[in-house]
Structure 1
Amino acid sequence: MIVDVALPLSLAFIMFSLGFGLTPADFGRVLTMPKAVATGVVMQIVAVPLTAFVLLQLFNLPPALAFGVMLLSFCPGGVTSNVLTKLGAGNVALSITLTAVVSLLSVVTVPLLVSWAASAFLEAEAPDINVTSIAIAMFAITVLPVLLGLGMRKLAAAKAEKLERVMSRVAVVLFAVIVFAAIGTNWVLITENFAHLGPFFVSMNILLLVVGVLVARVIGLSGADGICIAIEMGVQNAALGIAVAGLVANAAGITEYAVPSALYGIIMYLVTIPAIFILRRLFNPVSVPGRGMT
């Protein structure tokens, strides 16, 4: 019961902190840097799930875990992607915009893609997927908190910068709590499948980072934009993946479908943090100053 209440509330606060960290300029970048924003959105919504799907054809994962991998791949960038983008000398302003835009779009894209993935990977074992119900629930725990955060920032404009830092730190702590709670709840299942899931996620994370940088380079974006897009692809909102798994299963607690999101919530940092320093040296991006970090 505690988990069922704490999980959506924690995710809602994480999304509220995202909204509180946004300004009109973050959405204005859709018009001022359309090529970079459009590329980042397409790579996040299309290329990440496609990469996960292709890799699943090469790895022999149980259907429930394969479905959980796809759930994770449908999620937007993680709450710390902006921090990691700054660390990698990427375009922080672009990172903030992409996180916001893809998070808002996810209320439409995730339910539809989840319905397809359930049929493709679970087949006869697939639970009944109510796309509308999932969309409404996602709106309540993602879009609504973001909008409330935007409104609260306007009301607390004088103290916004200080409050933003505090909320960002709390959001990161809550994210860690959600991930570790999911791991603890499914510890036996994780240890039984780690030999498969571990190599799978390391491969997936590296591939996403490399593809993000290379695509950006091929179409003529700057090195800083490429680093940003790569990190947005490689660092997923695992907390949302865990929450969506619960919505799909319509069951109490943290379900089996949430295991991939929980495990990736740790692996993505172990891979991404050293990788961004390598990418930074290889592509020598010129860091673009950001307004701040969410």
Structure 2
Amino acid sequence: MDLLINVGLPISLAIIMLSLGIGLETADFRRVLSRKYPFAIGAVCQVVLLPIAAFLTVTLFGLPPEIAVGFMLLSFCPGGVTSNILTKLAKGDVALSVSLTAVISILSILTVPFLAAWSITYFMEENAPDVSISGLAIAMFLITTLPVAIGVIVRRFATGFANRIENGLSTLATALFVLIVVAALAGNWQIFIDNLGIMGTGLISLNVALLLIGLGIARAANLSWAECKSISIDTGIQNSTLGITLAALITGTESGFSPLALPSAVYGITMYAVVLPFLVWFRRR
């Protein structure tokens, strides 16, 4: 188990982030400058409103400290490749979704370490493990930002090679994601069973609320329907693999997968059931 967490988990996340980078072009970053307004709306929903909604959820449901921290870690994570794929299926603005994912994934090395340290201290109090903000930022850079940057560089200078490996890399990333979720659940099975009812209800409620919040804010901002769908999905869909990895980086590996990883692991399953009715609705309208 230690080998899986110490080696397999970081490598898996790095591959997932590399698969994200391989699908990006420099134009995806430049697009932010030409579409400042819809990007700003999406960024505020993800970076500001999402953690606030998570905090309200864990408070209202009275979740145990470790599970509450897990919810918060998940809320700090940016969207991933999944949100881009779901946006495409919803006939949303894929370019906007990709730009949000690209920029916020890179900026997360600045925001996530501070927010993670705060949430652990706030919810776990005297039982909070020591969190090195600089160490967490460096680790996130190595396993998230750097792979994305490498993918973008490969796409820029070896487009043919990037096209050839993109599908295979995405398939591998999906398989690794499934393995990580299963391992995290198996490593905390009794805690998972004991808290499944309230944790599952909280995650589903939060997921539905975020999809609606993103949609409502975008509609109130008078964005196009395609842009509204994109912001809804990018607000409601997070990179659960990063949430699991953050839990491991924070608590260490002495006792296997941390209970802090449980919300992200469960969410990695429930998010598909929650988003499916929205996809059907989005595609029909």
Range of TM-score over shorter length: over 0.9
Q: Does 2:3 correspond to 1:2?
A: yes
Which residue is 1:13 aligned to? Answer: 15
Which residue is 2:266 aligned to? Answer: 263
* 1:276 Cα deviation from its structure 2 partner: 2.4
- Residue ranges of structure 2 left out of the alignment (5+ in a row): none
Which residue is 2:52 aligned to? Answer: 50
Which residue is 2:91 aligned to? Answer: 89
Structure 1 Cα separation of the partners of residues 242 and 266 of structure 2: 13
3-state DSSP of counterpart to 2:216: helix
Select 2:281's aligned residue among 266, 278, 282.
Answer: 278
- Asked if structure 1 preserves the Cα contact closer than 8 Å seen for 2:68 and 2:123, the reply is yes
Structure 1 Cα separation of the partners of residues 135 and 3 of structure 2: 22
3-state DSSP of counterpart to 2:77: coil
Deviates more, 1:186-195 or 1:247-256: 247-256
- Asked if structure 2 preserves the Cα contact closer than 8 Å seen for 1:26 and 1:93, the reply is yes
- Asked if structure 1 preserves the Cα contact closer than 8 Å seen for 2:26 and 2:156, the reply is no
* 1:160 Cα deviation from its structure 2 partner: 2.6
Structure 2 Cα separation of the partners of residues 56 and 229 of structure 1: 23
Structure 1 Cα separation of the partners of residues 80 and 179 of structure 2: 14
> Which letter does structure 2 place at the counterpart of 1:176?
V
* 1:279 Cα deviation from its structure 2 partner: 4.2
- Asked if structure 2 preserves the Cα contact closer than 8 Å seen for 1:43 and 1:233, the reply is yes
> Which letter does structure 2 place at the counterpart of 1:262?
A
Select 1:174's aligned residue among 170, 173, 176.
Answer: 176
* 1:85 Cα deviation from its structure 2 partner: 0.5
* 1:153 Cα deviation from its structure 2 partner: 1.9
3-state DSSP of counterpart to 2:61: coil
3-state DSSP of counterpart to 1:220: coil
* 1:154 Cα deviation from its structure 2 partner: 2.7
> Which letter does structure 2 place at the counterpart of 1:206?
V
Structure 2 Cα separation of the partners of residues 278 and 198 of structure 1: 23
Question: What is the TM-score of this pair, normalised by structure 2?
Answer: 0.95
3-state DSSP of counterpart to 1:58: helix
Q: What fraction of aligned residue pairs are identical, expressed as a percent?
A: 48
Structure 2 Cα separation of the partners of residues 72 and 166 of structure 1: 27
Q: Which runs of structure 2 are paired with 1:2-81 in the superposition (5 Å)?
A: 2-3=3-4, 4-81=6-83
Structure 2 Cα separation of the partners of residues 170 and 34 of structure 1: 34
- Asked if structure 1 preserves the Cα contact closer than 8 Å seen for 2:57 and 2:202, the reply is yes
- Asked if structure 2 preserves the Cα contact closer than 8 Å seen for 1:79 and 1:171, the reply is no
Structure 1 Cα separation of the partners of residues 56 and 279 of structure 2: 24
Tell me the alpha carbon deviations over residues 124-182 of structure 1, each in whole angstroms, 9 at most, x when there is no partner.
11111110010001101001111111222233212332322222222122112211211
Question: What is the TM-score of this pair, normalised by structure 1?
Answer: 0.93
- Asked if structure 2 preserves the Cα contact closer than 8 Å seen for 1:75 and 1:237, the reply is yes
Q: Which runs of structure 2 are paired with 1:222-237 in the superposition (5 Å)?
A: 222-237=224-239
Which residue is 2:156 aligned to? Answer: 154
Which residue is 1:208 aligned to? Answer: 210
Which residue is 2:193 aligned to? Answer: 191
Q: Does 2:120 correspond to 1:118?
A: yes
Select 1:239's aligned residue among 238, 241, 246.
Answer: 241
Deviates more, 1:179-188 or 1:161-170: 161-170
> Which letter does structure 2 place at the counterpart of 1:99?
T
- Asked if structure 2 preserves the Cα contact closer than 8 Å seen for 1:80 and 1:172, the reply is no
* 1:39 Cα deviation from its structure 2 partner: 1.1
Which residue is 1:292 aligned to? Answer: none
Q: Over aligned residue pairs, what C-alpha RMSD do you find?
A: 1.2
> Which letter does structure 2 place at the counterpart of 1:270?
A
Structure 1 Cα separation of the partners of residues 283 and 217 of structure 2: 16
- Asked if structure 2 preserves the Cα contact closer than 8 Å seen for 1:212 and 1:230, the reply is yes
Select 2:111's aligned residue among 106, 109, 112.
Answer: 109
Q: Does 2:253 correspond to 1:251?
A: yes
Structure 2 Cα separation of the partners of residues 113 and 96 of structure 1: 24
> Which letter does structure 2 place at the counterpart of 1:273?
L
